[in-house]
Amino acid sequence: MRILAIILGAAALAATNLIAVQAYADSCWWHNGSLMRLEANGNQRWFTYERPKPELRRSGVQEGTLLFDGVRRGSRYIGTARVFSRYCLAHPLEYAVEGSVSRNDTRVVLRGTREVQERCAPTGRVRTDTLLFDYAFDC
């Protein structure tokens, strides 16, 4: 009887974990004043703009614009982020980022170093960006 209770308890826990993973597979997150959509397929991850803040619209960002694509490896995300500029509408600047996922899967922090550009021209300067994503709700 005790073994059956343990097995049933483990099955219930596994089902709960499965539901939590599915809930985050298509979820909405806050990032720098914009509402983002996180989509997942296996280990692949994509953050796209769901509701970009008004300033970004002038840079060509609209619903569905890709900000990040990459993979999840354990509690880390590794991939490519983009910077948008009204001067480079057709060519966002891409750069490598990586970072961690919080223990409760409600915050993603990505960091990467990128070239600074002015009006689509390289300046010779670099900066480190930190991208914060905070879980909002299931989309």
**pLDDT tens-place string over residues 121-133:** 999 999 999 999 9
**pLDDT tens-place string over residues 18-38:** 333 333 568 999 999 999 999
State mean pLDDT over 54-83. Answer: 97
| Predicted local confidence at residue 24, as pLDDT | 53
> In DSSP terms, which residues pair with 30 in a beta bridge?
35, 134
| Predicted local confidence at residue 30, as pLDDT | 98
Question: What is the pTM (predicted TM-score) of this model?
Answer: 0.81
Identify the helix (H) or strand (E) that includes residue 78: strand 76-83
